[in-house]
Each structure stands twice: as C-alpha cells, then as structure tokens.
Structure 1
Amino acid sequence: MTSVELVDAEAFRRAMAQLPTFVTVVTTRGPEGPVGCTANAVMSLSLEPSSVVVSLRSGGRTLAHIRTAGAFAVNALAWEQRELCRRFAVGDPARRFDGVRHVLRGGVPVLPDAVASVGCVIEDALEVHDHTLVIGRVAWSTSGEHPALVLRAGEQHRC
C-alpha cells in the first residue's frame, strides 16, 4: 500500500465545498413528532432494487430516530425552500419543523414542495469514521418541476 499524507481537515472541507451538491433534508418520525436534518452526502445506489445511501453523523439525533423508526425520507430542496437549508442544519432540533409544511407518507414526514422526495426503509447501516452510511430501500418517490437548491463553496444557487 502506498503511503498517503493526511490532509488538514479544513483544507479538505474547502476542497469538497467546491463540488456542487443538491441540498436535501432527511426526515423521519420521533416520539414527539417529525425529526430531520440537512444532508448533502446523498446518492442513488441502485435501480434494482431501487435504493439510496445517506451519510449522517454517527452521534446525530436524526440518525438515532431513523434507526428507531426503521424508515426515512430524503427531500431534495427547491430554490424556494432555501431557508430550510440552514434551519435543518443548525437550528434548534426540537423546533426545526415549527411552521414547516409537511405531510406524512409511509409514516414519515415529507416536504411536499421539494424538487424530489424518496421514502425508504432501512436496509443496512455501516459506520465509517464519524459518519454512518444508511442504505435505504426506496418504497416510493415523487418529483416536481421546481428549480433545485444547490450549494457550492458555501453559497446557495438556483439550478
């Protein structure tokens, strides 16, 4: 194996920020109601069976509730929903859904104005470093025609 120098975490963060990413809010149900967080490390895994991978902080509240619920939704935010990006990233976890329109589908909260939403049941979860890769089998999906919210270099863009 080749020796590799470890990069400074902040330098790595700056480099990865240059890659445009869709902004998603991953949602599930908790004992007191809907729970969710902003996530940009989301990707489709396969078509047969339809599945996605979501990377969440291993000690995070949303991940704990996803494990308990056994299901979650990935909501790709529309440009018009850009204020939700920060709210679900750093806002008070107990108040993130305050005033946010959502519906229940398959037992999990869904943001109806999202560009796309997929509802999943957990198929597997793999802890890797400080994150957990949650593999979800897609139970349903929806898509709309709204312009999407994309992040690049910490700035929000309409796509």
Structure 2
Amino acid sequence: MSGPSTSEKPRPVEAVDAALFRRVLGRVPTAVSVVTAEGADGPVGVTVGSFTSVSLDPPLVAFFCGLHSASAAAIAAAGRFCVNVLAEDQQRQCAAFASRTGDRFASGAFDAGENGAPQLRDAIAWIECEVDSTFEAGDHLAIMGRVQRMTAAGSDRRPLVFYQGRLVKLDSAAVRHAPSHPFAWWDA
C-alpha cells in the first residue's frame, strides 16, 4: 500500500463545529493535574487536563493552557514547575486552581519541592521539570518540561479523572490487575 504522492496537495480542512469537537473529544478521559511554580510574585498554579508524556529519552512532558493564561505565562517565566497529579478526593483543589479568583493555595497544604515549585501534599504523584520549550498551539500555549525528579505517593489512591465535561472517579474494578498480552511495540 502506498501513501499519497508528494505532488498531491492536501485537501483543505473544513471548519469543525466547536460543540461537536468538544463532545467527541470529551469521550477521551484525562487525568487532572495542577501545575505549580514559584513565580516572580509568589507561588502560581493552574489546573490542567491536558498533561501528557512526550519522550522517554530525553524525559519530556508537556501541558497546555489558554494562550492568554497569566498562570501559564508565569510558569513559563519561572523556568521550572511541578506537575501535581490529583487524587480522586481532591476536587476542591481542582476547582481552586481552575478558578480565576481567590487564593488557590489556600485549598490545601503544600511544600516547596527541590526545584522550588510548590508540591501539593495530598497529590498522588509529583513531576518536577525545567521548562524545555514553549510554543503556540492554536488557542493554547504548550509548555514542554524536561523531567528532573519524579515521585509517586506510596498509597493506592486513584487519580481524579475528567470525562464528558465533569470530574469522575474510576470504578474500583478498573484498577484490578487483568492479565493481558505485553505490548512488545511499547519498548521498541
């Protein structure tokens, strides 16, 4: 099977209905994280549902915020950040860091990580990064981080998940081990 000819012009993309786009992509569950940094004016943080791993070698992760987000700009300017992966019982912190007003850090206890970025005490994992690069991605700013340190909490608490426009909990059956075939291609 052959791919498209290099002389063929790509077809223009037709406008995608925003409501349909949200409805269809709302079927993709995402873990909820709070990204924090020690900014020039003190600690800064923002809730994201668009955190992802990018590369194993070098270890890179990325998250996306609205293009005009003051929090994203402050995190990028700080040069380092921490991704705090929220547990299913941290809806309060999720809402606080998603808010545009109020003291976001009053929603729970935190400590400074090794890179200075706040680490939320009850998160289930912490990923400390140095900003590797930033770039515009449509109406969002992408911030890529080079992982410096990472830690997982020593508990079996489950992650907070965003699905179809709301916060949901994983069913307890979803966390049981089910034998499966190894993904040989994963390590290739």
> Is the CA contact (8 Å cut-off) linking 1:120 and 1:139 kept in structure 2?
yes
Do 1:76 and 1:148's aligned partners in 2 also have CA atoms closer than 8 Å? yes
1:122 corresponds to 2:131? yes
Aligned partner of 2:104 in structure 1 is 96
Structure 1 residues 32 and 41: alpha-carbon distance in aligned structure 2, compared to 1, 3 A threshold: same
Q: How does 1:35-46 map to 2 (within 5 A)?
A: 35-46=44-55
8 Å contact kept, 1:28–1:62? no
Q: Post-superposition, which runs of at least 4 consecutive aligned residues in structure 1 deviate over 3 A?
A: none
Q: Which has the higher strand share?
A: 1
**Which structure's CA Rg is the greater one?**
2
User: How far is 1:99 from its partner?
Assistant: 4.2
Q: Is 1:87 aligned to residue 87 of structure 2?
A: no
Q: TM-score, normalising length from structure 1?
A: 0.92
For residue 167 of structure 2, what is the amino acid of its counterpart?
Q
State whether residues 55 and 61 of structure 2, in contact with CA within 8 Å, keep that contact through their aligned partners in structure 1. yes
Matches within 5 A, 1:50-69: 50-69=59-78
Question: Does the Cα contact within 8 Å between 1:121 and 1:137 map onto a contact in 2?
Answer: yes
**Which whole-Å CA distance do the structure 2 matches of 1:31 and 1:126 have between them?**
21
Q: CA-to-partner distance for each residue in 1:84-142, whole Å, 9 max, x for gaps?
A: 222211241x5111142111011110112111110100111111221111110001101
For residue 77 of structure 1, the aligned residue among 63, 86, 98 is: 86
Between the aligned residues of both structures, percent identity stands at 36
Q: In structure 2, what residue type is equivalent to 1:151?
A: F
Partner of 1:113: 122
Gaps of 5+ in 1: none
Decide whether the 8 Å contact of 1:118 with 1:142 is kept in 2. yes
Structure 2: segments with no counterpart, 5+ residues:
1-9, 171-188
Partners of 1:49 and 1:2 in 2: how far apart?
35
Which has the bigger relative contact order, CA under 8 A and spacing at least 6? 1
- CA distance in structure 1 between the partners assigned to 2:24 and 2:97 by the alignment: 23
